[in-house]
Amino acid sequence: MAKRFLILLPLFSTILLLAVTVTESEAYSTTTPFQGYKPECFTHLHFYFHDVITGDKPTAIKVAEARKTNSLNVNFGVIMIADDPLTEGPDPRSKEVGRAQGMYASTAMKDIVFTMVFNLAFTAGEFNGSTVAMYGRNDIFSKAREMPIIGGTGAFRFARGYAQAKTYKIVGLDAVVEYNVFIWH
For residue range 67-100, what is the model confidence (pLDDT) as tens digits?
Answer: 765 555 668 899 999 999 999 999 999 999 999 9
What would the pLDDT profile of 111-124 be if each residue is shown by its tens digit?
889 999 999 999 99
Asked whether the predicted pLDDT for residue 63 surpasses 60, the reply is yes
pLDDT of residue 70: 52
Burial of residue 120 (CB within 10 Å: 0-12, 13-18, 19+) is buried
Residue 124 neighbours by CB under 8 Å, 6+ apart: 95, 96, 97, 98
Collect contacts of 38-41 with beta carbons under 8 A, ≥24 apart: 40/184, 40/185, 41/184, 41/185
Question: What is the DSSP annotation of 35-68?
Answer: TT-----EEEEEEEEEE--SSSS-SEEEEE-PPP
Q: Higher model confidence: residue 109 or residue 154? A: 154
Residues 5, 11: Cα–Cα separation, whole Å = 10
Structural contact between residues 148 and 162, judged by C-beta atoms closer than 8 angstroms: yes
Query: What is the chain's mean pLDDT, rounded?
Result: 86
